[in-house]
Amino acid sequence: MSEYKATTEATLASRAIGAIIFSIFGSVWLALWNQRAFQGSLLLYVLIAVVGLGLLGVALSRFQLIKAFHEAESKLPHKQAAMRRFHWINAAQWAAILVISNVLINVGMPAWVTPVAMLIIGLHFLPLAKVFANPSHLVVGTVLSVFAIGYPFLFSGGPADPYGCFDAGLILLTNALWNVSFGWNPQSKQRLASVAEFNLPH
């Protein structure tokens, strides 16, 4: 397998995995919006589930096409190093959210937990763009971070405005849609299905 081909398939693998994650967490943000804005409308929960599960299903089908390549590539030293960096970044993200959220609650500013958590999540995507060679992480991280900083001062409900959650979910689901759409042409699908051709460079 040529270096270009391996790079292309590694990029598609990153996009498929990213779409899986974005479709799940995008749906969670929308569910939070529904709970806060409409006291958990059953109809909206169903619509969110349809959209989220639909995107998740497409992302999983994309991942199945690239699964053999991804499993072989994950054994390479540089990929193992990338996963270690990912785990450290992810752990730092959740630790920061936990600590800062507790501080905000204890100082009487619980409404700011949502935008601060959103900002931390957005920022954690920035180094992941390089770790996984996925430029879409840079885009979604930047958009989510800027939105988290701005919406508490622009929306009528301030940091507690439920439409902050709505827009965060929309940002993530849009990115999931992009990840399962861009680069997945019929030729790539046919090539990825031919797993017998995989010959990863060392």
Write down the pTM of the prediction.
Answer: 0.85
Please give the structure tokens belonging to residue 128: 């992941």
Dihedral of alpha carbons 158, 160, 164, 168, sign: positive
Confidence category of residue 18, pLDDT binned at 50, 70, 90: confident
Which residues touch 136 (CB under 8 Å, ≥6 apart)?
15, 18, 129, 175, 178, 179
- Average of per-residue pLDDT across 62-88: 85
Domain ranges of the chain: 3-196
Confidence category of residue 95, pLDDT binned at 50, 70, 90: very high
Please give the structure tokens belonging to residue 99: 């600590």
- Average of per-residue pLDDT across 116-136: 91
What is the structure's pLDDT at 15? 84
Residue 45: CA atoms inside 13 Å, Cβ hemisphere, count? 8
**Mean pLDDT for the chain?**
86
The Cα–Cα gap between 91 and 59 comes to 24
- Average of per-residue pLDDT across 134-160: 94
First to last CA, the chain: 11
pLDDT higher than threshold 90 for residue 100: yes
- Average of per-residue pLDDT across 154-171: 96
Which residues touch 142 (CB under 8 Å, ≥6 apart)?
122, 126
